[in-house]
Structure 1
């Protein structure tokens, strides 16, 4: 009996050790499974501090967001970061994690995002120049499914099989530790009880594994259908009426009733830079026609815009919207634009739906002789009238890409893209605000898989920031949405009023809600955009500025390679 007990204890010890190894392996897998993306980049002043902040959210949730802060101005003693969700607000947020220095004026930390939804990362700053807070809007959404490495899977399967065999053996041995039935030999009785116990253990373990597999499959399916982010589907179409092409965007509400992932608070769309929607159209595959439009909201599900004098063809469509909870989303589709044969006078007479709409038809991305229909870069650094380091604008001025580090850039590296405008005589040409900002930019990978709408303050939405900052200042744990119809009508009234204001008054109103940057210049002729290209490839950049009441668009191409190890 004592011998059997010692064997049982020995087997139990082995199981505990193997289970501990199993947990360590699983935790290691979890820790290494999350990879960053281009994330959110913010350049902002807060009191005497100026910071450049990069947040790379996880592509699976729960997961850790990597927060990097570059202190460009100010004396900092400590930095902290914490996630704050719109739904829970400040009261439901955890304490700050400390950012550790990793270089000269560079700090980093990993911040856990535990659930999906509209969120932000609050950066707390402390030092001789005072205490400040900066809020960075972040969309905490799962965008990827992770596969377990094959080697790890086989290793875990082998350990699991060993555990099962040992567990069944222990159950059989435990069942044999008893009184022998009278009339039977001791050996035969022990053997029979051991076999019976092992059979019962096998059935129990099989039932447990079946239940576990069912739970695992249902959990994986719930993640795939409920947590994995899917953009709001839209249907874009163009119709011709009275020699005018009208673009219509209709929100696809199919499945709203039984699929919460597709639902959106469509009545609670916020204006960003005074527009409910920023729409970009780029003709594919040569990216030679571009439009930045601002459709009007006809009703909750429909947006309309008159198309400018764009050539016919297939266009990639990217529409940026921001919701009341601070969640910013890009809606995508492709649309066929029919060619319209009208006179030059009729084309010139076409009025855009919004006075801030702009467009440009330029040369396509070049084609190598041995690579038909494959976009690539021109090798010239300066080619007048073509995408390069300098391009001519429609008013005769030029826009120049300043401080470009090299002809080929690196993926994942943070750049400050600087562009300066010079008049026909080569002198600095002052710029006017465009939608309350010094300029706008759109960046697109040649295959359309990477797109970003850039601002001088970063890659985030100022409307989202305002919404999240307001929510943080609210002491309530839960947010109560206002009446949907009244909210939508008030926003439409505000948009209509903006269109009637003089340009200077409108820009003053818009700039009041946008953080100012310290880009000191003798002549305001330069615009800067912080950005990190997320992937290698060929990119086209459209830079938009405003002079003499006219929106001007410059085009630049660049190649991005993976960083050298």
Structure 2
């Protein structure tokens, strides 16, 4: 690189930094696609390399994402990273930035994300064990407004005032002193000319500052109204029909005509693990009832699912969806579930064969305590949270390798869970929705939620969409006909439901080969995760055995990082 190019890039980065600072003025607002759990964590096998990847995107865009790669296996010489945006694809992507080795097997870099929306980080790993590429989906969204520090504001105001005074003085001096020729006496009206020049200069500066202030306000409003991410709104309710409770989820498009950010491309939803929507219900405040449902799409705005025999009460609802451009988001609402005596026949009428549910003890209640949970008719407690838990088929799920009773916020962990049969022997697990298992983690107040997979915190559908976009040579992406696309997706999802379990898992595994994550032992499932905040958390771990979905539940406490 020649010195001129280096200086040009340096000036560009300083301009970007200044622009980001201007856009970030305001006050804090924290939201994210996974509620309260920003960033992406990925654990992948790429050729001979096993990698643990963490990407923390910026909360203002343009901004820098912190990329960290732990090389758990393989000999690496260099790692490059570059952002690739869905809109512009591979043709519009910048060149790779090289990650720096900061510790044994840990590489880091700050990567600029210049555009909001769905994007990915392409990692290129090179070394004696070959060259590999890994795609990490990242939602580059602005989620924060910040206040300018008071000291900085006063300092800038003082410097600005000084500059105005100096500029006005210079203009006045040039207007007066410029008429005096060398060797001639100064005109009598020299002072008047100086004052007139200073007045005219001040008026021009005021006009310039007024225009600049208008631009500043307009830019800030545009950032707030168009760039700042706001999740789509849903309205959830429960309707009772034929002695069966139905969960109704409706997308609220009120006002979407005025706000283009709310014009979600609802017809362009993609199935993730073969499901258009993953809905998680958690009863509050005890978090003692849980359901993982897959509502059917009735039309573009409405989804519906039959509720399992959950106890009545107030539930938090987290609904995960993925769009054609790879953008993923979690839609939230609260819903009141009425108490209703459910017959065995009605309870068997689930919307989806992969739906699952669990009723257990409230969070914090120890096994053998007097205040055991009160259950409605036909409900049973399937196990008690702890270091191990009895599952409903008689097997036991154990939390393996837990470092201690209290974990640290912000620290990367691999959460490992194993299943043993009634005789204490290894119990082989089957694929559940094409993967070794699923997990949901919720903070006790509901402010943190994450849907985990063995490969990490991202979506299979998002990875597939972004990988295909990178392979596309077109500079811009053109969406297909909305109705035709929606109908074809509905037909695909319906077809999957009719397939035998083995064939369905084969189809899903083929469609998400990038998320293949073979467990080291056939009775264990593991999830990489970093708890974002201190607090008490409940973890639901879901696996499949002998054709049945089994759910284990574990509690843990997380404290602030000791570093």
Q: Same fold (TM over 0.5)?
A: yes
Matched, 1:365 2:363: yes
Secondary structure of the structure 2 residue equivalent to 1:261: helix
Matched, 1:145 2:145: yes
Correspondence for 1:320: 320
For the 8 Å contact 2:20–2:62, the answer to whether it is kept is no
Correspondence for 1:53: 53
Q: 1:187 to 1:407 in 2, by over 3 A?
A: farther
Q: CA deviation at 1:531?
A: 0.5
Correspondence for 1:476: 474
Q: Which of 542, 545, 556 is the aligned partner of 1:544? A: 542
Secondary structure of the structure 2 residue equivalent to 1:213: helix
Quick one: distance in 2 between partners of 1:161 and 1:25?
Answer: 24
Q: 1:250 to 1:412 in 2, by over 3 A?
A: same
The alignment yields a C-alpha RMSD, in angstroms, of 2.5
Asked which structure has the greater CA Rg, the reply is: 1
Secondary structure of the structure 2 residue equivalent to 1:318: strand
Q: 1:507 to 1:28 in 2, by over 3 A?
A: closer
Secondary structure of the structure 1 residue equivalent to 2:261: coil
Matched, 1:333 2:333: yes
Count of residues in Structure 1 that have an aligned counterpart in Structure 2: 523
Q: 1:23 to 1:341 in 2, by over 3 A?
A: closer
Q: CA deviation at 1:27?
A: 8.7
Q: Give a deviation string over 1:137-177, Cα, whole Å, max 9, x none.
A: 11111001121111111111111111111111111221221
Q: Give a deviation string over 1:297-356, Cα, whole Å, max 9, x none.
A: 1111111100110111111111111111111111111111111134x54554x4110000
Correspondence for 1:492: 490
Correspondence for 1:517: 517
Quick one: distance in 1 between partners of 2:16 and 2:518?
Answer: 48
Aligned residue runs from structure 1 range 87-102, under 5 A: 87-102=87-102
Q: 1:291 to 1:166 in 2, by over 3 A?
A: same
Q: CA deviation at 1:519?
A: 2.9
Q: Give a deviation string over 1:96-152, Cα, whole Å, max 9, x none.
A: 000111111111111111011110000011112221111111111100112111111
Aligned residue runs from structure 1 range 387-398, under 5 A: 387-398=385-396
Q: Which of 453, 458, 461 is the aligned partner of 2:459? A: 461
Secondary structure of the structure 1 residue equivalent to 2:446: coil
Matched, 1:192 2:153: no
Q: CA deviation at 1:425?
A: 2.1
Secondary structure of the structure 2 residue equivalent to 1:58: coil
Q: CA deviation at 1:504?
A: 1.2
Aligned residue runs from structure 1 range 32-71, under 5 A: 38-71=38-71
Quick one: distance in 2 between partners of 1:23 and 1:500?
Answer: 56
Q: CA deviation at 1:439?
A: 0.6
Q: Which runs of 4+ in 1 moved over 6 A?
A: 22-25, 27-37
For the 8 Å contact 2:383–2:392, the answer to whether it is kept is no
Quick one: distance in 1 between partners of 2:19 and 2:493?
Answer: 51
Matched, 1:263 2:266: no
Quick one: distance in 2 between partners of 1:222 and 1:458?
Answer: 34
Q: CA deviation at 1:258?
A: 2.5
Consecutive unaligned residues of structure 1, counting only runs of 5 or more, are: 1-21, 369-383
TM-score (norm 2): 0.88
Correspondence for 2:303: 303
Quick one: distance in 1 between partners of 2:214 and 2:191?
Answer: 35
Quick one: distance in 1 between partners of 2:20 and 2:82?
Answer: 24
Secondary structure of the structure 1 residue equivalent to 2:308: coil
For the 8 Å contact 1:172–1:194, the answer to whether it is kept is yes
Secondary structure of the structure 1 residue equivalent to 2:468: helix
For the 8 Å contact 2:436–2:519, the answer to whether it is kept is no
- Once structures 1 and 2 are overlaid, which stretch shifts more, 119-128 or 69-78? 69-78
Secondary structure of the structure 2 residue equivalent to 1:170: helix
Q: Give a deviation string over 1:479-502, Cα, whole Å, max 9, x none.
A: 122222222121111111111111
Quick one: distance in 2 between partners of 1:61 and 1:199?
Answer: 41
Q: CA deviation at 1:260?
A: 0.8
Quick one: distance in 2 between partners of 1:328 and 1:462?
Answer: 10
Q: CA deviation at 1:79?
A: 0.7
